[in-house]
C-alpha cells in the first residue's frame, strides 16, 4: 500500500472480523436448508404425496453445506499448521 498523498482521502478502516467470518454463514445456511426440508416433508405428508422434489432439493442443499463445512474446516486446519498449499485468509487474526 502506498502512502496517501496530500489531498487524498484517508484509506477506509478495516472491517471487523465478524463481517468476514465464514462459519456462521455456513451453519446459518445449513439451518435454513434443514428447516425448509422439514417444512417440505410435513407439507408432502399432509397432502398425501410423501417427500417430493422440494424435499430432496433441500436435502441436497444441506449436503452441499456439509461438504462446504468440511472443506472450510480442512483449509483452516491446514492454515493453522502452516501448510504451503493452504488458502490464506481463512484463519482468524
pLDDT in tens, 35-81: 999 998 888 766 667 778 889 999 999 999 999 999 888 888 888 88
The residue that leads in pLDDT, 89 or 9, is 9
Torsion sign over Cα 75, 76, 79, 80? negative
C-alpha to C-alpha distances, 16 to 37, 55, 86, nearest whole angstrom: 33, 37, 23
Provide the pLDDT for residue 58: 93
Position 13 in a domain: no
The parent domain of residue 28 ranges over: 21-80
The band of 88, judged by pLDDT with boundaries at 50, 70 and 90, is low
Q: How many structural domains does the chain have? A: 1
Position 60 in a domain: yes
| CA atoms of 38 and 34, how far apart (whole Å) | 6
Position 93 in a domain: no
Provide the pLDDT for residue 84: 78
Amino acid at each position: 500500500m502506498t502512502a496517501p498523498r496530500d489531498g487524498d482521502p484517508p484509506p477506509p478502516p478495516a472491517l471487523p472480523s465478524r463481517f468476514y467470518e465464514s462459519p456462521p454463514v455456513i451453519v446459518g445456511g445449513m439451518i435454513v436448508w434443514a428447516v425448509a426440508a422439514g417444512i417440505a416433508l410435513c407439507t408432502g405428508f399432509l397432502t398425501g404425496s410423501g417427500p417430493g422434489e422440494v424435499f430432496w432439493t433441500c436435502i441436497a442443499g444441506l449436503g452441499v453445506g456439509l461438504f462446504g463445512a468440511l472443506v472450510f474446516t480442512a483449509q483452516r486446519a491446514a492454515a493453522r499448521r502452516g501448510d504451503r498449499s493452504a488458502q490464506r485468509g481463512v484463519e482468524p487474526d
